[in-house]
Structure 1
Amino acid sequence: MSVLIFLIPIALFLGGLGIVAFLWSLGAGQFDDLTGAAERILEDEPL
């Protein structure tokens, strides 16, 4: 049971870190143009 004293705060910290990273990427505009990236991968580039 004493292991839970360490694991629960670590899990909460990592979960919070993931949420902060996701919100930061939303604010930075990472997900603004999803269709443009999907179409760019299909275009042929001249060699």
Structure 2
Amino acid sequence: MPESIIILIFLSLCLGTGVWLIFLWAARKGEFDDTEGPKYRMLADDDPPASKSRNPTNHDHESPHD
């Protein structure tokens, strides 16, 4: 029983250290520099107008098949 607790404590410390190192790496790479920009960038993004196809995809007006 005590061996399993020691193993679990060791694994949790390793996992916590790994997450902390990944966070430090991301912070140094600039991942958290601009947290406000992306939410406003999607509002300013203009999509190209949808092209009108010759074959309509709405099949409501077709006659039923036999």
Q: Please state which band the TM-score falls in when normalised by the shorter chain.
A: 0.7 to 0.9
**TM superposition score normalised by structure 2:** 0.62
Q: Is the radius of gyration larger for structure 1 or structure 2?
A: 2
Runs of 4+ in 1 over 3 A off after TM superposition: none
Q: Encode CA deviations 1:4-45: one digit per residue, 9 max, x unaligned.
A: 121111100000001000010000000111111121122342
Q: Unmatched 5+ residue regions in structure 1?
A: none
RMSD (Å), alpha carbons: 1.2
Q: In percent, how many aligned pairs have the same letter?
A: 36
Unmatched tracts of structure 2, length 5 or more: 49-66
